[in-house]
Amino acid sequence: MEPDRDTSLAATVDAPVGWRSRIPARNMLRWETGLGIVVLAIGVLGVSTSSEFLTGTNIFNLGLQSGEIAIMALPMTLIIISGEIDLSVASIMGMASAVLGYLFAKGWPMPAIFVVVLLVGVAAGAINGLLITRVGLPSLAVTIGTLGLYRGVANIILGPNTISNFPTAYTNLGVNGVLGTNLSFSAAIFIVLAVIFGVVLHFTPVGRSIYAMGASPEAATFAGIRVKRIKTLLYITSGVICSLAGVLLTFRLSTAVNTNGLGLELDVVAVVLLGGVSIFGGKGTIVGVVHGVLAFAGISNALLLTNFNQEAASIPVGILLLISVFVPNMAQLTRRLRDAVTRRRHAAPPAPAMGSGHD
């Protein structure tokens, strides 16, 4: 008699979900591998387009311009893998920037301002998480609502005012590299956070729980996973990280204004989906998102060097979003189409038989 096999979700959760390295040939065909090739192709294209593409100055600017987007993409990755989404990330960034500027104008010391800004991020993320997990509202609707809410708070805090007299010691973060290198501070912070998020997602029980929640939240609940608690913590983490990104953006621009970060939520989502994270949840890796960041930053920078019309910059972002949603799910969509055609054929009435008698 064949031994019983454990097919429960708990057994699935204990497996190293997200890393499928048992078959080398399959590993070569992974989205991350293809995206890595795309990154190399973008590098070659950038060099052929402009001799400035791989210079130290441009590499510094590349990390600087995309640093905050890359940082916000990390918590967004975990949220989307868990089966949810957060469209309020850029508004939390803008609200944090407004709070920083307002408190600095009031004469607060910078360490105290940092604490308040991070607490603002905690509160914003907690509001998102509690409305989704405790009230039971869909994350898309909630975060669209808080997108407008948090941006409105930023408008109320600063109004039409612009704060731009920050200490040089802080604004130098936007013009100097780390330890005199061509690595910007925002890019360095992204690298550190990417390692931390990668370890949590791929090598801890929390990460396996996140994958399980994205695959089936009901089954994850029955398996004993604290779905509501983990999702709430993910949103709080996102709030804190976005507040940090707001601080970095303020110092990079040397300006706090109520429109800081406006519209960047689409860039963040585009980076995550381009990195191979499934919009339906349950699939994705930090390695893929890092590749997505490199591809997005490379394309944006190459377009900038070629004097591409910046008013049409949303066109490449929209194309990337469509590609990143369609291509990974092309096999599933094809299978659904084939099944629909098969069902239609079986449901069609048989053709009437031709009469064989004489009139």
The domain limits of the chain are 25-326
Residue 184 main-chain phi, psi, to 5 deg? -70, 160
Number of H helices, E strands in the chain: 16, 0
- Please tell me the distance from the alpha carbon of residue 240 to that of residue 338, in angstroms, as a whole number: 45
Give the 3-state secondary structure of residue 163.
strand
At 319, list the tokens: 């194309």
Q: CB-based contacts of 154: which residues, under 8 Å, 6+ apart?
A: 91, 94, 95, 97, 98, 258, 260
According to the model, what pLDDT value does residue 2 have?
39
Read off the DSSP letter of residue 299.
Answer: H
Read off the DSSP letter of residue 11.
Answer: H
According to the model, what pLDDT value does residue 36 have?
87
Helix axes 185-203, 56-81, angle to 10 degrees: 30
According to the model, what pLDDT value does residue 328 have?
67
CB 151 within 8 A of CB 95: yes
Give the 3-state secondary structure of residue 291.
helix
Q: How many Å is the maximal CA-CA distance in the chain? A: 105
> Each residue's pLDDT tens digit in the chain (359 positions)?
434 434 344 444 444 444 443 444 454 447 888 888 888 988 888 888 777 888 888 888 888 889 999 999 999 999 999 999 999 999 999 999 999 999 999 999 999 999 999 999 999 999 999 999 999 999 999 999 999 999 999 999 999 999 989 999 899 887 788 888 889 999 999 999 999 999 999 999 999 999 999 999 899 999 999 999 999 999 999 999 999 999 999 999 999 999 999 989 989 998 999 898 988 899 999 999 999 999 888 888 877 777 666 666 667 767 777 877 777 667 666 777 787 777 777 775 655 655 555 54
- What is the 3 state secondary structure string of 111-126? HHHHHHHHHHHHHHHH
- Please tell me the distance from the alpha carbon of residue 136 to that of residue 155, in angstroms, as a whole number: 29
Give the CA radius of gyration of the chain: 24
Terminal Cα-to-Cα distance of the chain (whole angstroms): 66
User: Could you confirm whether domain 25-326 is CATH 1.10.3470?
Assistant: yes
According to the model, what pLDDT value does residue 68 have?
95
Handedness of CA 36, 38, 44, 47 (dihedral sign): negative
- Please tell me the distance from the alpha carbon of residue 317 to that of residue 165, in angstroms, as a whole number: 33
Q: How far is CA 52 from the centre of its chain?
A: 29
Predicted TM-score of the model (pTM): 0.84
- Please tell me the distance from the alpha carbon of residue 50 to that of residue 128, in angstroms, as a whole number: 43
The number of beta carbons lying within 10 Å of the beta carbon of residue 300 is 20
Burial class of residue 192, CB neighbours in 10 A (0-12, 13-18, 19+): exposed
